[in-house]
Structure 1
Amino acid sequence: MGSFKGHVLPGTLFLLVGVWHIWSSMVRYVKNPKGFRVRVWNPVPGFDGRLKYTELYVVAIGAFIDMCIELLYSTHLKFFVNGVLNPSHMNDFEHSGMLLMFFIFGVVALLSEKTRFLPLPEGALCLIVATAFSAEYLLFYFHSTNHKGLEGYYHLLLVILIGLCILSTVFGALAPTSFPVDLSSGIAITLQGLWFYQTAFTLYGPMMPDGCMLKGNTISCRSMDNQVRGELLANCQFFGLVLGVIAFALGLYKAAASRYGHSELRSFHAAENGFVRD
């Protein structure tokens, strides 16, 4: 079982990173379409390079803070009961393990970029973040907290989005010059962040479907019809977010092309589509 804050915090982190990834991917492409390369993280320009690694710090520090909340605050430091892991807080331990993977990615990426101790190629960083998403996927798929009914359906849709994050980052290592792959990664991360928000507002906020309610630590519906209507509502919310993010991405691309577009961008598109004549 989760909570409103427990979904909004990771949702905010994913949303910030995802939107920044979409914008940065587009800017890099329109500036130099022929030399485009996939990046698993994107530097923040300006201020004499002092903000360059902001994204990696957000990932590492955000994951660390969330991990401390799950492992230290939520468990009240009661890690063991009768010599075994406290069964009342298994979900907190699982969440901590998932967040640890993103924290490791942030630290490894910082070491790779800022020091000479761990010089890793971009493809290797793609595979590391894909491992973090895989840990998240396994957590929500084999959760010790049995997500059933309407709650289970929302988490099933979340698992689908996490799977898309895994695929896009793996393909980023396999196709390091593909703009669609890099853009897809940003879109998938953004959708995951938005779906965390949607889950928080629907299951733990004011958007609970009619006939369903939060009782203690479980979400129950009065009848199967109420549950089905709730699941259909989830489908509408899901596709609405997908369409919204795609429209948002198209708007960003237009803005990026207008502001940063290379003079050869249009001819490059024409050549890719076979419209250039010898």
Structure 2
Amino acid sequence: MGSFIGHALPGTLFLLVGVWHIWSSLVRYVSNPKSFRVRVWNPVPGFDGKLEYLELYLVAGGAFIDMCIEVLYSTHLKFFINGVLNPHHMNDFEHGGMLLMFFIFGVVSLLSEKTRFLPLPEGALCLVAAAAFSAEYLLFYFHSTTHKGLEGHYHLLLVLLIGLCVLSVAAGALLRTSFPVDLSSGIAITLQGLWFYQTAFTLYGPMMPNGCQLKGDQIVCRSSDSLVRGELLANFQLFSLVFGVLVTVAASYGFAASRYGHSDLKSLHVLPDGLE
């Protein structure tokens, strides 16, 4: 069982990174479509380059802080009981392992970009990021905490979104010039962040479906009909988030094209006979 802050904190991290990735992908494409390349992270312009690596610092720092909360604070430093790993905090250890992978991605990317110790091409960094998302996917798929009922349905939908992150980021290592692949990874990360928030507000906040309630450490529904209504509501919530993100991306593309559009952009939308 989780908590509101336990879902909102990683949701904030994924949402910030995802939204920034979408906007950066749009601007880079409309600015120069022919030289577009997939990026697993995007520098922040301005401020004399002082914030260039802000995204990587956010990923590494956010993952490290959240990892400390999971492994040190949540376990109260009681790592072992009778010589074995504390069985009451296995979910905290699992979350810590997942967060460690994102911390490693942030550190490896910083070392690759800022030093000569680990020079890696962008495609390799895509694979490192895909490995981090794969660890997250395996964690939630084979979680030691058994998610049942309505909670299980929300986590199943989360696993599907994480799977999209794995596929889109890994594809970036193979299709280095594909704008749809780069944009898809940003959309998938954004949806994952939004779904963390949706789960927090629904299961641990004011949006609990009628007929279901948080009782102790479990989400309990009065009847099978209440459970089905809750699951259908979850499906509708996910559809609404997907629709909202796609509409926002389309509007953002139009704005970015009008402000930063390159002359080559229009020619890419013209058919061979000259008709648009």
Task: Give the TM-score taking structure 2 as reference length.
Answer: 0.98
Q: Deviations over 1:13-39 (max 9, x none)?
A: 000000000000000000110010000
Q: 1:276 to 1:116 in 2, by over 3 A?
A: farther
**Equivalent position of 1:245 in the other structure:** 245
Structure 1, unaligned runs of 5 or more: none
**Equivalent position of 2:52 in the other structure:** 52
Distance across 2 between alignment mates of 1:274 and 1:228: 52
Opposite residue 148 of structure 1, the aligned amino acid is K
Give the Å deviation of 1:251: 1.1
User: How do 1:192-203 and structure 2 match up within 5 A?
Assistant: 192-203=192-203
User: How do 1:1-278 and structure 2 match up within 5 A?
Assistant: 1-270=1-270, 273-276=271-274
Distance across 1 between alignment mates of 2:263 and 2:204: 50
Opposite residue 16 of structure 1, the aligned amino acid is L
Give the Å deviation of 1:276: 4.1
Secondary structure of the equivalent of 1:147?
A: coil
Number of residue-to-residue matches in the alignment: 275
Distance across 2 between alignment mates of 1:275 and 1:71: 62
Give the Å deviation of 1:275: 4.5
Distance across 1 between alignment mates of 2:54 and 2:273: 41
Give the Å deviation of 1:150: 0.2
Distance across 1 between alignment mates of 2:226 and 2:119: 54
Give the Å deviation of 1:255: 1.1
Opposite residue 252 of structure 1, the aligned amino acid is S
Q: 1:163 to 1:274 in 2, by over 3 A?
A: farther
Task: Give the TM-score taking structure 1 as reference length.
Answer: 0.98
Structure 2, unaligned runs of 5 or more: none
Distance across 2 between alignment mates of 1:82 and 1:274: 74
Secondary structure of the equivalent of 1:34?
A: helix
Distance across 1 between alignment mates of 2:5 and 2:109: 28
Opposite residue 222 of structure 2, the aligned amino acid is R
Runs of 4+ more than 6 Å apart: none
RMSD: 0.8
Identity of aligned residues (%): 79
Secondary structure of the equivalent of 2:68?
A: helix
